[in-house]
A and B are shown apart, each in its own frame.
Chain A
Amino acid sequence: MTGQNNPHTKSIPLSERRWLKLARPLIIIVALIATWQVLVIVTGAPKYMLPPPADVWSTLNERHAVLLDHAQYTIAETVIGLFAGAALGTLAAIPMALFSPVRFWLMPILLVSQAIPFFALAPLLVLWLGFGLASKIAMAALIIFFPVTVAFFDGLSRTETGWLDLARTMGASRWRLLTHIRLPAALPAFASGFRVATAVAPIGAVIGEWVGSSHGLGYLMLHANARVQIDMVFACLLILCAFSITQYFIVDRILRAALPWQPDSLKPVR
């Protein structure tokens, strides 16, 4: 694994690695669908409990207009929530790292906020912010806020002490020390927080939709479930999965490109 980063020990031919890289997701998807089909056959579950893959596929085809229409809402809520939550997390982490009073006051509040179950908050958010996008964006942003804040704060408070010493002897101002050393040094930590946030953001949006909405995949799932259209529920789930994975890889790509100097001895599985 580490050998991939060292140009002198590159042993696997490039073409072979690329082939595996492209084939791996396909193999995984095919294996999962096959497992699903086997489960359907073995358990003999009725279609209204566990629809076979073929049924879900035809639902995806026949109802794609409805599905895509609702998916737009969920995607918008997730993406906006992701950026709002990350922005808020950044805004909290920087003053916490810079000023100890802010840290002492904000940290307990942050921890308390994590003790509140988000499911319980969703109805309140809908009550306060309405049935529209705003309550779902707030829900996604709330879920994202904590991992981003904690990861970024952690990165900001663990600046290599040698760099700080060097900057002090160079006569660095507090502000330039932040912008030129502490912030860039904390970016890899921020990136890991943001990756976690990317993975959980759709959860926030969907929970918001379950509690109260007239649009979105969460709303569609709830209604289909009530009408025992389980193939529709599965179709929604598949779209959500596809979107989450796509979003994660786009974010991962962007973060990697933005931080080419980041120590990367263990590449994530792809």
Chain B
Amino acid sequence: MRSTEHAPDMAQNNPARFDIALHAARVAFNGADVFHDLDLTLPAGSFTCLLGPSGVGKSTLLRYFAGLVEGDVSGTITCSDNTPLKDRVAYMAQQDLLLPWRTVHENVVLGAVLRGETPKHDKASHLLTEVGLSDAANLRPAELSGGMKQRAALARTLMEDRPVVLMDEPFSALDPLNRLRLQELSARMLRGKTVLLVTHDPLEALRLGDRVHVLSGSPARLQDAITPKGQSPRNIADPDILAQQAELLGQLGADASEGAV
């Protein structure tokens, strides 16, 4: 079977071999700084999670890396291989962003189509099999469940085959069981890539992240990273993980009481 032969190297496809350093980042909306003087390093091949209360600027920080923030912006992004980060990131949002007029397969190859390249249809079919959507390849998004749509979005993200993957709460709209499945699938398929994942769920962050940062305050500051042990996806019933969850909740809660004063 071709698909199983390809499976092991699939995740290792185009791994990240460079660190990304964000330095003195500042973003302001309507004159108010969302954050300033913000530094963050994403080591090559690491999975970093960004946690924080809603509206704190997590998504803005992620979109900063994606080059999607416009307007009052300053700061630098440097890659350790001295090549610009642009065109080396794949982006996955909370909404699946599937185009309703294209089939699942056509959505997966969208990137190539938009760049005017010849789509690699074999690879798309293979990825759809990997995410368990081979039977749905010719369906339109409206015919899929929420979990299936987000799996299709994951396949589209992986199809881009970029060394860096930026994910903005990609699983938050899913039911708990589908969320667990997709977390597992992502942890497996994204191994070797540099990932930045924004989430509001401390357990999700500890399950997937090699480094978990809390972003809080206004203007927002990054707290020191918590580094859960072991390889992801981690067992969320592990006492160490639960202790770290308490620590993260403390960081998040401490912020809430600060805000109340």
Contact = CB atoms under 8 A, between A and B. Distances in A.
Contact of A162 (B97, B113, B140): B97
Contact of B101 (A165, A172, A184): A184
Contacts of A176: 113-116
How many chain B residues sit at the interface, stated as a range, is: 20 to 34
B97 A163 contact: yes
Contact of B114 (A160, A165, A170, A261): A170
Contacts of B132: none
Interface stretch (B2-10, B34-42, B85-93, B221-229): B85-93
Given A163-B99, A184-B101, A261-B101, A171 B90 contact: no
A180 B87 contact: no
B19 interface: no
Nearest to A177: B114
Contacts, number: 61
Contacts of A261: 100-101, 140, 142
Given A172-B114, A173-B114, A166 B140 contact: no
A168 B68 contact: yes
Nearest to A259: B101
Contacts of A181: 99, 114
Given A169-B66, A177-B114, 7 more contacts: A165-B63, A165-B66, A168-B67, A171-B115, A173-B116, A180-B113, A261-B100
27 contacts: A162-B95, A163-B97, A163-B99, A165-B66, A165-B93, A166-B93, A166-B97, A166-B110, A168-B68, A169-B68, A169-B89, A169-B90, A169-B166, A170-B160, A173-B114, A173-B116, A176-B114, A176-B116, A177-B114, A180-B110, A180-B113, A180-B114, A181-B99, A187-B101, A261-B140, A261-B142, A263-B100
Interface of B: 63, 66-68, 87, 89-91, 93, 95, 97, 99-101, 110-111, 113-116, 140, 142, 160, 166
Interface of A: 160, 162-163, 165-173, 176-177, 180-181, 184-185, 187, 259-261, 263
